[in-house]
Structure formats: C-alpha cells, structure tokens
Copies of this chain bind each other. A is one copy, B any other.
Amino acid sequence: MSVVSDRYCDGINPNLVDLAEDHLYHLGLSTGTTDFKLVFGDVKFVCTAGSPNRIRKLAQYLAQQSGTSTELRNLAEKGGRFVLFKVGPVLCADHGMGTPSLSILLHELFKLIRYAGCKDVTFFRLGTSGGIGVNPGTIIVTSESLNTELKPIYELRILGKLVARPTTSDPDLARELVKITNEANICNAILGKTVCANDFYEEQARLDGAFCSITAEDKFAYLRLAYEKGVRNFEMECTCFTSLCRLAGVRAAVVCVTLVNRLLSDQVRISQEEYAHFQELPGLVFAEYLKRHNTLASGPAH
C-alpha cells in the first residue's frame, strides 16, 4: 500500500476547504449555483454503468417501481459528458468505458456526496463482461478486482510516479448480492474474481482486434491461468472502482453479466433478444437489493 492511499484513506482532500466555489466540470454542477445539501442530501445509493441508455432505462424502472414520475431530468446535462438521474435516495450515472472515464465520474461524485453531507453511501457498478469458463447470462459479483497482471491493485501515475492502490471491497455485500440474485430467481449468480483491462482487444488477449501479436496458445494459457486463480470475468473498470471507493470510505460492489464465454469465443454471438435481456440482469439485481432494503418507495424523484 502506497503513501498516497495511506494518507487519504478517509477521502479528505484538505484543499477543497479553501475553494470558494467548486465547479464539478464534467457533471456541469457547481456548488455556487446548486444547493447540494438540498438536492442530494438524502442520497444513500449510487448506481453506475457504462452505457447512458442502460442507466437511463434503469432509473426509469426504479422510478416506476417507486410510483414516482418516470420523466427524469439529466442533472449532468450541462457538462455534456455523463447522464445523472436521481430517484429518491438513488443516484444513477453512466461512467463510459475504461478507468480514466470512470475515475473522472468518481472524483466528481465523491465531491458531490461530501458537499451534500450524505452518510453511509454504497456505490454499485453494473456492467457487461466477458466470462471465463461460465455460460453467457451468468451474473458475476466481484470477490476481488485484479489488474491484467492478476494483482489486486489499481495503478496510476502521480507526478509521473507509479502509485499502486489496493482494490479490497466489501465481502459481505458481494455475498448478499449473489444470495438475493439466486433466491429471487433472477438468473444464475456466482462470486468470482474480476480482471480489469485497459482495452477490449489486446489487453484481454482477444485474437480478433485490428492488431494481434499473440497466438491462440498464448491466449488460452493466459485465460486458463486466470481461471485457476479464481477469475470468472474480464471487464474494464473494477480495479479503479473498488480502490477509489475504498479511499473515499464508501462500500462498493461490482455486478456484471457475462455475454460470452471467452474459452469458447472472442466475439459476442448472442441474439439481439438475449443481449437485451442479459444486459438488464445487473439492474434487476440492484432493484431486488433496494427492495430488500426498503428503499424503492422512499422519496420523490428530482
């Protein structure tokens, strides 16, 4: 664990106290023009996903289940980068693809919930992923987030120097999500380690990118090694998500559906109908979690 993560594990950046106004640039929200305590003070759950369309549909579904208006306003519209919807105590945002885009969203959401004075917030990432040795349509709840070296760290460079942050997340929350998915018969769900890659093709050992410098033997040796270490899926955000949530002092869970079994194919070959169904599954798990925590009908949508 690096000095950086030790020093700021409570998520406090002392410089923010001195800012007269903080403009959350990519969210298009400013402490000077929005009363964060009034608008966001009751937030308890933050739900993120890669695709803006998927997160919009999920927010509408949650609003419908809460009996509130499904005419939701994108609160981050001015920023022109992300969508942000609020349904009672639930914030829903898209994070784009990859850790750089996600890290921007997380920095700004962590500042938002701090300025709003939110307490006991839990963050979820709902995603799609490539499975390793599991059938398409399986939910993997991440037990540990690994980088492509199969180490449980998130690396970034600060002042050009490498900093490695641990990716530990909440084991009880992960187990609970697997349990309720299976109990509610949403689909098959398992715990598994998840690898975060910085690319869809070459970093995930696919053979079908524009470039490929490895053989099929290299690929299968790498995927089998990952499988033996407990990896069940690859995606592009989990190490950043769990390590930054840990630094910010919020609970975090990563819930992904698999769209392909990489031991059989690199390409996603499911039908349009299966694709539409599978990508809704993580949202159904999240909604079931909210129901069991008596959250779905507890506040008006803004």
Instruction: Provide the A155-195 mask, 1 if CB < 8 A to any CB of B, else 0.
Output: 01111100100000000000000000000000000000000
Q: Smallest distance from the beta carbon of A261 to chain B beta carbons, Å?
A: 15
B8, B25, B114, B157: the one contacting A212 at CB < 8 Å is: B8
Interface of chain A: mostly helix, strand, loop or mixed: loop
Which A residues, 89 to 142, have Cβ-Cβ distances below 8 Å to chain B? 96-101, 103-104, 106-108, 110-111, 114
Q: Is residue A300 contacting chain B, with contact meaning CB distance below 8 A?
A: no
B157 with A107: CB separation less than 8 A: no
User: Chain B residues with Cβ under 8 A from A149's Cβ?
Assistant: 157, 160
Q: Report how many copies the assembly holds.
A: 2
0 or 1 for each of A234-271: is its CB under 8 Å from B? (1 = yes):
00100000001001100000000000000000011100
A54 CB contacts on chain B under 8 angstroms: 80
* CB atoms of A104 and B150 under 8 A apart: no
Least distance between A57 CB and chain B CB atoms (Å): 11
**Are B99 and A96 neighbours in the complex by a CB distance under 8 Å?**
no
Residues of chain B within 8 A (CB-CB) of A150 are 160
A148 within 8 A of B: yes
Q: Which residues of B contact A80 (CB under 8 A)?
A: 51, 53-54
**A3 to B211 alpha-carbon distance, docked (Å):** 13
CB within 8 Å for A51 and B81 given contacts A98-B99, A103-B200? yes
A15–B207 touching, CB < 8 Å: yes
Contact call B107/A205, Cβ cutoff below 8 A:
no
Cβ-based interface call for A19 (8 A): yes
- Asked if residues A211 and B97 are in contact (CB atoms below 8 Å), the reply is no
A7 CB–B CB distance under 8 Å: yes
A19 engages B208 (CB within 8 Å):
yes
In the complex, which residues of chain B have a beta carbon less than 8 angstroms from the beta carbon of A23? Answer: 267-269
A39 near B: Cβ within 8 Å? no
A210 touches B114 (CB 8 A): yes
Q: Is A209 an interface residue (CB 8 A)?
A: yes
| With contact pairs A156-B198, A201-B107, A205-B158 given, residues A211 and B100 touching in the complex (Cβ less than 8 Å) | no
B213 touches A8 (CB 8 A): yes
A160 touches B11 (CB 8 A): no
Chain A contact residues, CB within 8 Å of chain B? 3-4, 7-8, 11, 13-16, 19, 22-23, 25-26, 50-51, 53-54, 80-81, 96-101, 103-104, 106-108, 110-111, 114, 147-150, 156-160, 163, 197-203, 205, 207-214, 218, 222, 236, 244, 247-248, 267-269
Instruction: A23-B267, A25-B200, A51-B81 given; name 6 further pairs at CB < 8 Å.
Output: A7-B213, A25-B268, A96-B101, A98-B99, A107-B209, A211-B248
